[in-house]
Structure 1
Amino acid sequence: MAKSDGSSYFRRTSLFWIVTVTLSMGYYTWAVFRPQQIPYDTLGPLGDLTQYLVKEYHGIMYKGWWISWAVHLCEALLALKVCSDKGIDSPSTRLLWFVQTVLFGFASLGLLLKYKAGGRAKRH
């Protein structure tokens, strides 16, 4: 629970985004670094698409993998700036926002951006 002054505001991203991003990035990593181990035939259309992309565009997929992590890192650095701007000054809370945003990207950063300093985050 956040302190009333907001200096320790942290919200975990939803389970939906945790599972979606973890499975997506895990599969992407598998396709880029161990494509020979993917059971393409058992994955239906996803297997066909992955096999085509690996065969025709592996170099682009490799670069895209690094770019996706670079984007997550940039989002995490932005999260640190947003923490400062919103008065979230607890080092442990800032670390939580940084790590969560590196792992889950905008699914995490969006929660931080919704936070109203001096008030509560918008709820939907």
Structure 2
Amino acid sequence: MARSDGGSYFRRSSLFWMVVVTGFLSFYTWTVFWPQDVPYGLLGPLGALAKYFVDYHYPVMYYGWFMTWVIHLFEALFALKLCSDKGIDSTSARLMWVAQTFLFGLGSLGLLIKYKPDGRPKRQ
């Protein structure tokens, strides 16, 4: 099977997903590791929900935080496999896909999954 010219294919994830994932994971980290410093009253319904989870389901939040990063790690490893399967042979492109997928999860992985290396249009 001949490789396409997509050996260095990389697309940056959308700014929307970068902001959403970064904001969510930052807030989640803050509530898990420094729950006493979160201004719950100033955050409206989000603060009330976060306070409820911290007060009544903290162990789930704590272990869930670690599980979130394990899931992101497996997504990044899957992105590495997809790069091989799709003929992306540039080391820098592979590294960028793995790093971006580790940080932003499905917001990045979706772009790689949609990539068709031979240029055929995607079936609907």
Please name the residue that 1:72 is paired with.
Answer: 72
Give the drift of 1:121: 7.8
State the distance in 2 between where 1:60 and 1:88 align. Answer: 38
Would you say how many aligned residue pairs link Structure 1 and Structure 2? 119
Q: Which amino acid aligns with 2:103?
A: L
TM-score, L = length of structure 2: 0.92
State the distance in 1 between where 2:40 and 2:83 align. Answer: 43
Q: Structure 1's 53 and 121: CA in aligned 2 closer, same or farther, altered over 3 A?
A: farther
Please name the residue that 1:119 is paired with.
Answer: 119
- Percent identity, aligned pairs only, is 61
State the distance in 2 between where 1:121 and 1:35 align. Answer: 48
Preserved CA contact (<8 Å) 1:114 1:121: no
Give the drift of 1:114: 0.3
Preserved CA contact (<8 Å) 1:115 1:121: no
Gaps of 5+ in 2: none
Q: Which amino acid aligns with 1:88?
A: I
Give the drift of 1:45: 1.0
- Partner secondary structure for residue 99 of structure 1: helix
Q: In the alignment, is residue 44 of structure 1 matched against residue 38 of structure 2? A: no
Please name the residue that 1:83 is paired with.
Answer: 83
Give the drift of 1:72: 0.5
- Give matches, 1:1-124, under 5 Å: 5-119=5-119
The two structures, once aligned, show a CA RMSD in angstroms of 1.3
State the distance in 2 between where 1:83 and 1:74 align. Answer: 14
